[in-house]
Amino acid sequence: MLQPIKLESLRELVSAGSVKSATILGQKGGYAVVASVGMHQRPLGTKFGDVRMFGSTDTAVKVLRDLGLFIFHLDVSNYEEGRLRAARPDVTLKAKEASQAVAHDRWFRDQVQPVMDKVEAGTAVLHDHDEVWNRMEAHAANRLSERAAAAVDSVPRRSGQRRR
């Protein structure tokens, strides 16, 4: 197996003019960058010493361009479509939940802001908590008595039976 080269080392070799050419090689699920340094082929590596894989040619091209390599080869003869990393449904779920939370927060702020603007302008009508609560309790008691009366009226009576 070829010894990977770190990005910074490759950058120094490119600026010194030691890199003859580079190739983007298609692999299973992605692309690797291989540089021709002198008589040796060296794949671009990660900081951990593994071969660095790119999910698309666009990303590999960007890295080569940032290194100062503007002419390179593309070899897709061994490319196989697939994923470089396993799917992470937990991360997808967290992202969806975060997106929903942001949307809810935005909606909530849109609902509250007009009232806050009225309070700041002094045009809002403010109600005493106890007064509102007493009115709600009275309304609830009224509705309960209406329902109770409606339930008594809807009970079928036997003939000859009088209502109390």
Q: What is the pLDDT of residues 86-141, one digit of tens each?
A: 778 888 889 999 999 999 999 999 999 999 999 999 999 889 999 999 999 999 99
Is this prediction's pTM over 0.75? no
Long-range contacts of 37-45 (CB under 8 A, 24+ apart): 37/5, 37/13, 40/2, 41/2, 42/2, 42/3, 42/4, 42/5, 42/10, 43/2, 43/4, 43/5, 44/4, 44/5, 44/7, 44/10, 45/4, 45/5, 45/6, 45/7
